[in-house]
Amino acid sequence: MWRSVASNALTLFIVLLVAMAALVAWGRNEFVAPGPLAQPICLEVERGASLSAVSRSLEERGAISDARIFRIGAEYADRADDLKFGSYMVDANASMSEVLDAITASGRSTCGRDLNFRIGVNRADVVLSELDLTTNSYAEVTRFDAGTDPLPPEYLEVSDDPALVFRVTVAEGVTSWQIVDALKKADFLQGSLETVPPEGSLAPGGYEVERGSERGAIIAEMTERQAAVLAEAWAGRAEGLPYDTPEEALIMASIIEKETSVPEERGRVASVFVNRMQQGMRLQTDPTVIYGITNGEGVLGRGLRQSELRRETPYNTYVIDGLPPTPIANPGEASIRAAVDPDTTDYIFFVADGTGGHAFAQTLDEHNENVARWRAIEAERGAAEETGVQGE
């Protein structure tokens, strides 16, 4: 009898093992199989939310077929405690595995509303956008000038939304004073900024922040990023540059940044200034003169006067030899790399060509021809504008 009982128990145990193996295989298949969601949705993960609450929300909204399998899969992947606060897009037919990746991997919100505080050369503005799930692209809701325009109702309605994503975006060529001045106007930030960081030391680009982030912490991140970019670029610099330190390369990069906004021109513009320095010529660049007038505090807003071009200041490269004493703006990575690895050319002149770019020349005669063409373009534009005004 005992032999029969043991045999039956063994059989039952084997059946249970097979059933468990089948159940595990089914669960694993459910976890990686396409999900039931017909249309993409935005999933908000609140700060401090539990995996249990998130999985129930996903099941209730039809994004996953079984909350228990989702939790078990998260535990098995050792990611049950990795939930990231934010708003995330869950694609149609996303598997449980893909949903788990979305809410635990980067922590960068991919859905909902986005507030971009943009610091530019001429102004700082705020752009509020919202993701259109049908096109998977952000559509602008409202835009306003920071510190000048009244806060629009569209912004006030969502400004306290915990899922609202905040970003600060700094344009290339903005001065340190402009960045500090703009950050002081961001009502979602806190903390004082008592001093202006050294010119050129802040990296342009995008920075994800939160409501209540410290302004000083953002400045510190910008400083750290710029230092890393400069160090890496300087380590891979070309031979024979007419400047000996990364600080001097940063000055050159800032001049390049202010001279052209055309990416493919940066290397050529850099070559012009390097060639001038190697030939003992003065840089003769207007942006440095302007910086000597404004000290980087805002824009000049008018053309340079002849008296200003003749006035001797540390930044007037029509008068001084070599580089000015400091950068004249915060250059982006592309301009820094152009400064340390310029194109190899014989150009020593350039002037606007009427298309947004520049015409380059090796000789003064060629340059004068390019200047004459540019002046003709300016005259034609002036005449067209005058005709347009008279016709209104």
How much of the chain, in percent, has pLDDT values that exceed 70? Answer: 86
Boundary (domain end) residue, out of 202, 230, 258: 230
Boundary (domain end) residue, out of 104, 137, 165: 104
More confidently predicted of 195 and 97: 195
pLDDT tens string 218-269: 999 999 999 999 999 999 999 999 999 999 999 999 999 999 988 899 999 9
Q: Are 146 and 188 in contact (CB under 8 A)?
A: no
Token pair of 294 as six digits: 């404004």
pLDDT tens string 86-102: 777 777 787 888 777 87
Helix (H, G, I), strand (E, B) or coil at 125: strand
Q: What is the bridge-based pairing of β-strands 349-352 and 205-209? A: unpaired
Kindly state whether residues 142 and 216 are assigned to the same domain. Answer: yes
pLDDT value for 330: 98
pLDDT tens string 279-289: 999 999 999 99
220 Cβ contact partners less than 8 Å away, ≥ 6 residues apart: none
**Residue 223: closest CA among 208, 203, 204:** 203
Q: What are phi and psi of 262, to 5 degrees?
A: -90, 115
pLDDT value for 392: 35
pLDDT band at 65; cut points 50, 70, 90: confident
Q: Is residue 224 part of a domain?
A: yes
Domain residues for the domain of 276 are 237-377
Stretch 327-337: mean pLDDT, rounded?
A: 97
pLDDT value for 216: 96
Domain count for the chain: 3
The structure's pTM equals 0.77
To the nearest 10°, report the CA torsion of 23, 28, 33, 35.
80
pLDDT value for 391: 38
> What distance in Å separates the CA atoms of residue 137 and residue 379, rounded to the nearest whole number?
42
